[in-house]
Amino acid sequence: MQVLIQRVQHASVVVDNQTIGSIGQGLLALVGIEKNDTAASVEKMVNKLLAYRVFNDELGKMNLSLRDIQGELLLVSQFTLAADTRKGLRPGFSTAAEPQKGRELFELLLQKASEYWPERIATGQFGADMKVSLLNDGPVTFLLTA
């Protein structure tokens, strides 16, 4: 599982000209699910997303987590993160999970995150053509793996 997180002041997702998810200060998480991912991968990633220290403390050091700042989380499925880009000039997707498995694990990720962090989670729409807007804070961007 590859999850690209961006620390944001705000972010939103639009599908068919309708905003379907939006957050204020927090993390935008673009989620790429791979063939070998499991429910255990999802659990590990949820814990990492909520506890990863990317927000500044009073001294300006990245010592605070999403939980610490009471921030919000926007989860967006993005299978292109699972692409193999090592060879050639076109990405290969042989490492990406099949759509059904990807959907199941993404929905599990959303469910688990909502259990731990209710009312602070928003999401895009799995498999949809989404327009994602954000104001990156920092900029701060990290690639997490589970």
- Domain CATH code at residue 132: 3.50.80.10
Active-site annotation, residues: 78-80
Q: pTM of the predicted model, to two decimals?
A: 0.95
| Domain tally, the chain | 1
pLDDT tens for 31-69 read 999 999 999 999 999 999 999 999 999 999 999 999 999
pLDDT (average), residues 106-118: 93
Distance CA 29, CA 15 (A): 17
Instruction: Name the residue range of residue 105's domain.
Output: 2-145
Measured at the alpha carbon of residue 27, what is the angle toward residues 24 and 29, in degrees to the nearest 5? 125
Write the CB contacts of 54 (distance below 8 Å, at least 6 apart in sequence): 5, 7, 27, 62, 64, 65, 140, 142
